[in-house]
Amino acid sequence: MSSTNEETAKLIIDGKEYALPIRIGTEGNRAIDVSKLYAMTGHITLDDGFANTGPTMSMICYVDGENGVLRYRGYRVEELAERCDFTETAYLLIYGELPTGDQLEEFRTNIRVHTLLHEGMKRIFAGFPPQAHPMAILSAVVGALAIYDKDSADPVDPVQSELAIYRMLAKMPTITAFCYKQSIGQPFIYPQNKLTYCQNFLHMMFAVPSEQYRMPVDFVNALNVLLILHAEHGQNCSTSAVQMVGSSNVNLFSSISAGICALWGALHGGANEACIKMLEDIAADGRDLGKYVDRAKDPDDPFRLMGFGHRVYKNYDPRATIVKEICHRLVDKYAADDPLFELAQELEEVALSDPYFVERKLYPNVDFYSGIIYRIMGIPNNMFTALFALGRLPGWVAHWREMHLAPGKRIHRPRQLYTGHSEREFVPLIKR
C-alpha cells in the first residue's frame, strides 16, 4: 500500500513533545499514524463511532464525501455502472485491475462451477419458520459454508483462499434466491450456468418448474447497475465487521456472515427496507409529509428519515443520483400508478428545503430510492437488504483479501478507556 510519511504531527504531553508520522493518501487525504502512540506515551485515542479513525490503508475505494465522489480502484462509479458488468466490477475490486477478456472469462468460469449448494444445506432452510427474515437465513446459511466447504477454510493458504472467494461469489445468489423461495413456499430453482450472474439470480428468484420464465431485460440491466452501485464503499460498518472478524484468521464464510449481520441494521443496509416501510406509512397516513419531517427533526422522537443522511457524504450520494434515474425509467414503463416514487421525490424536496437538513448536510443516500426499483422487479420488502448484501459481497471480499495480503497483518483488537469502579472488597450474598 502506497504511503509517505514526509511530515509529522507534534503532540505535547506533560511538557514532553512527541512526533507522530503523518501519512498522505493518493488524493492528498491525510492521517496521523498513532500505531506507536501507546508505546510512546501510555495514552490511547478515543473516537466515538470511529468517525475520525481509520483502521487501515486501502487501495480499493476512494470516497470524497464533501464532493459526492466515489471511485472503485480509481474508476468513477458512474462510469462502471454505465459500461461494466457486475462480475467485471467484482474482478476489479478484488484483484485491482479491469480484467482482460480472457481473465474475465476465466473468473466467470471459476464462479460458474460453484453455483450449486451441497444438497444437505437445503435442510437448513427448512429449519426456519416461514416468516423468518431472509437476512437471518442468509447469515446462517453463508456461515454453514464453513462446514460444507471446509477444504477452503484456511485464509492464509493462497489456494484455499482463492477457492473460498470463487465459492462465496458463486453461492451467494443461490443462497439469496433460496431464502426467497423458502419464504414463499415455492420449490428451489437451481442455477443455470449458461446464464449471466444477474440473469441466473433473477431466474432462481422468479422461475417456477411449471412455467417458462420470461426475464425482462430491463430488470437484468437494472439489477446489474444496482449491484455495481452497492459493491463497495470503504470502511462502512459491515466491511469493517468483515475485517474485524476475518482478522482472527477465521474462514471467509464466517467473516462474510458477520458482514451480513452488520448490514441488516436499519442504520446501515437495512435502511432500504425501512425506507419503503416509511413511505408506505406516510402514504397510509394521508401523505402528511410535514408531520414526518417534523418528527425526524424532533430530538425527542427516535424517528429518522430512512434513506437520508450519511457519515461520509455531506453532499448528494452519487449512487442515489443513478438509482433515481433508473427509478424514473422503470416507474414510467412498469409502475406509473405506483405512488411511492412520487411521494419519495416530494419528501426529498421538502427535506432538502428545510434548514434542519440543509445545515446538517443530510441528503438521500443509496438506500432512499433503491427499494422502489426492487418493488417494481417484484422483490418483496424483506429481501431488499439481502440484495444489498449480494451487491456488497465483492467489496467485503476485496477488503478481506487486502487485509490478509497486507504485510504485518495483525488481529484487530481495539483498546478502551475504563471508567468503572476501582478495586473493591467482595460482599457475600448474605450481606447484600
Instruction: Determine contact, residues 44/417, Cβ cutoff 8 Å.
Output: yes
Cβ proximity to ligand SDX, 258 vs 312, nearer residue: 312
Instruction: Determine contact, residues 335/376, Cβ cutoff 8 Å.
Output: yes
Stretch that binds ligand SDX, among 142-150, 210-218, 261-269, 410-418 (CB under 6 A): 261-269
Stretch that binds ligand SDX, among 122-130, 168-176, 250-258, 298-306 (CB under 6 A): 298-306
60 touches ligand SDX (CB under 6 A): no
Coil, strand or helix: which one is 76? Answer: strand
76 touches ligand SDX (CB under 6 A): no
For the segment 132-171, give every residue that binds ligand SDX (CB under 6 A): none
Stretch that binds ligand SDX, among 34-42, 140-148, 308-316, 403-411 (CB under 6 A): 308-316
In the complex, the smallest distance separating the C-beta of residue 319 from ligand SDX, rounded to whole angstroms, is 7
Cell numbers placing 96:
485491482
Sequence-ordered alpha helix ranges (H) in 2-54 = 37-41
Stretch that binds ligand SDX, among 23-31, 150-158, 282-290, 301-309 (CB under 6 A): 301-309
Instruction: Determine contact, residues 128/137, Cβ cutoff 8 Å.
Output: yes
Tell me, yes or no, if 421 is annotated catalytic.
Answer: no
Compute the CA torsion angle 301, 303, 304, 307 (nearest 10 deg): 180
Out of 305, 323, 372, 398, the only residue in the binding site for ligand SDX (CB under 6 A) is 305
Cβ proximity to ligand SDX, 312 vs 390, nearer residue: 312
Please give the single-letter amino acid code of residue 28. G
365 touches ligand SDX (CB under 6 A): yes
364 touches ligand SDX (CB under 6 A): no
Cβ proximity to ligand SDX, 73 vs 181, nearer residue: 73
In the complex, the smallest distance separating the C-beta of residue 233 from ligand SDX, rounded to whole angstroms, is 3
287 touches ligand SDX (CB under 6 A): no
CA distance 82 to 326: 12
For the segment 25-54, give every residue that binds ligand SDX (CB under 6 A): 49
In the complex, the smallest distance separating the C-beta of residue 318 from ligand SDX, rounded to whole angstroms, is 11
Sequence-ordered alpha helix ranges (H) in 55-133 = 77-83, 86-95, 101-112, 122-126
**DSSP designation for 364:** B
125 touches ligand SDX (CB under 6 A): no
268 touches ligand SDX (CB under 6 A): yes
CA distance 143 to 228: 24
Residue corresponding to grid cell 426456519 = 128
Pairing of strands 16-24, 75-76: unpaired
DSSP 287-336: T-HHHHHHHHH-TT-----TTB--SS-SS--HHHHHHHHHHHHHHHHH-T
Task: Give the CA distances from residue 268 to residues 239, 390, 393, in Å, rounded to whole numbers and listed in that order.
Answer: 11, 15, 15
Residue corresponding to grid cell 428519515 = 305
Cell numbers placing 254:
464466517
In the complex, the smallest distance separating the C-beta of residue 381 from ligand SDX, rounded to whole angstroms, is 15
CA distance 27 to 43: 30
Out of 94, 296, 344, 393, the only residue in the binding site for ligand SDX (CB under 6 A) is 296
For the segment 320-349, give every residue that binds ligand SDX (CB under 6 A): none
In the complex, the smallest distance separating the C-beta of residue 1 from ligand SDX, rounded to whole angstroms, is 20
- What is the tally of helices (H) and strands (E) in the chain? 18, 6
291 touches ligand SDX (CB under 6 A): no
Instruction: Determine contact, residues 26/2, Cβ cutoff 8 Å.
Output: yes
Please give the single-letter amino acid code of residue 172. M
Catalytic residue selected from 310, 317, 404, 412? 310
Cβ proximity to ligand SDX, 104 vs 311, nearer residue: 311
CA distance 103 to 196: 16
Instruction: Determine contact, residues 403/246, Cβ cutoff 8 Å.
Output: yes
Out of 124, 242, 262, 271, the only residue in the binding site for ligand SDX (CB under 6 A) is 271
In the complex, the smallest distance separating the C-beta of residue 222 from ligand SDX, rounded to whole angstroms, is 18
Tell me, yes or no, if 85 is annotated catalytic.
Answer: no
Binding mask of the shown chain, residues 234 to 253, with x at each position contacting ligand SDX by CB under 6 A: --x-----------------
Instruction: Determine contact, residues 155/404, Cβ cutoff 8 Å.
Output: yes
Out of 187, 285, 360, 378, the only residue in the binding site for ligand SDX (CB under 6 A) is 360
For the segment 367-426, give every residue that binds ligand SDX (CB under 6 A): 367
In the complex, the smallest distance separating the C-beta of residue 221 from ligand SDX, rounded to whole angstroms, is 21
Out of 46, 208, 267, 405, the only residue in the binding site for ligand SDX (CB under 6 A) is 267
Residues that bind ligand SDX in the complex, under the rule CB under 6 A: 49, 233, 236, 267-269, 271, 296, 304-312, 360, 362, 365-367
Residue positions annotated with a catalytic role: 310, 367
